[in-house]
Amino acid sequence: MEKAIKRYMPIFVLPTFCAFILGFIIPFIMGIWLSFCKFTTVTDAKFVGLSNYIEAFKDTVFRHSFWYTALFAVVSLVVINVIAFALAMALTQKMRGTNIFRTIFFMPNLIGGIVLGYIWQLIFNGILARYNTALGLNEWYGFWGLIILVSWQQIGYMMIIYIAGLQSIPGDVVEAAQIDGASRLQRLFKVTIPMMMPSITICMFLSITNGFKLFDQNLSLTAGEPSKMSEMMALNIFNTFYGRTGWEGVGQAKAVIFFVIVVAIGMLQLRATRSKEVQQ
């Protein structure tokens, strides 16, 4: 039976592999090629060398969106993971209703980003109207609005991962530290967090990549207002490609730059956190 399964395994994998080639590999290669071309459709692409990349780097709005996105990714990374870890610690204690609280905290993750953006836009503008201002009048209102929105959406998801990590820590290790006289803080920083590093690696990777790739919440909450000052990289690429006639190649070049940045940062983060993982 096992030999038959191994024999026909390539046949079972073939449909998924073909879908991966057609849906990802071919469009990815075409996207890289088009980033070196001037085009309006893929059939009239004309090679122009590095001019699209030069225009992308000369675009001050694109450069601003990079630093704005980087700051957002760092702040959201810290806020989401600190609160999610604290909630996970609280909800793994012996207390009633932990399953209900876990469900409640996880539920915002099930709501789409566009819907969340419009809901929180109404909330924020309702509050700011009391002070004769609005979300779209200040880029930092939009920044902190996005931090609150994304944190509210993602904390519950990260909390579930941290809970799984906490429950995988051997109880005898914690008991041994307690018997040795380690305080609660010492047990947290010397035992719990080192043993939790695989979960921390996953959560940090998801947080930082999601922070850089954020699009739909940014579109619905601020749409880049005021004057594209709250425009993040994904939204800037979208507006360049679809909102500026003749700039399709520049938009594609920005997308390639964006891909390289996200992959590089993700790999650096994985390398930094995995080096601190310990074997249980």
Locus of tokens 């047990």:
187
Locus of tokens 């600190």:
82
From residue 160, alpha-carbon distances to 32, 57, 106, 193, 278 in Å are: 37, 40, 8, 16, 21
Angstrom distance (rounded) from CA 240 to CA 60: 13
pLDDT value at residue 165: 87
Angstrom distance (rounded) from CA 223 to CA 142: 9
Angstrom distance (rounded) from CA 134 to CA 142: 9
pLDDT value at residue 278: 58
pLDDT value at residue 244: 82
pLDDT by residue for the chain (280 residues), tens only, comes to 556 556 656 677 778 888 888 888 888 899 899 999 998 887 888 889 899 999 999 999 999 999 999 999 999 999 999 999 999 988 888 777 778 888 888 888 888 888 889 999 999 999 999 988 888 888 899 999 999 999 999 999 999 999 988 888 777 777 777 777 777 787 778 888 888 888 888 999 999 999 999 999 999 999 888 888 999 999 999 999 888 888 889 999 999 999 999 999 988 888 887 766 655 4
User: Which two structure tokens, joined as six digits, stand for 105?
Assistant: 């905290």
Backbone angles phi, psi at 46, to 5 degrees: -125, 125
Angstrom distance (rounded) from CA 113 to CA 219: 9
From residue 19, alpha-carbon distances to 26, 27, 42, 238 in Å are: 10, 12, 21, 25
pLDDT value at residue 151: 94
Burial of 87 (0-12, 13-18, 19+ CB in 10 A): buried
Q: Sign of torsion, CA 256 241 214 212?
A: positive
Angstrom distance (rounded) from CA 264 to CA 271: 11
Instruction: Say if CB 69 and CB 139 are below 8 A apart.
Output: no
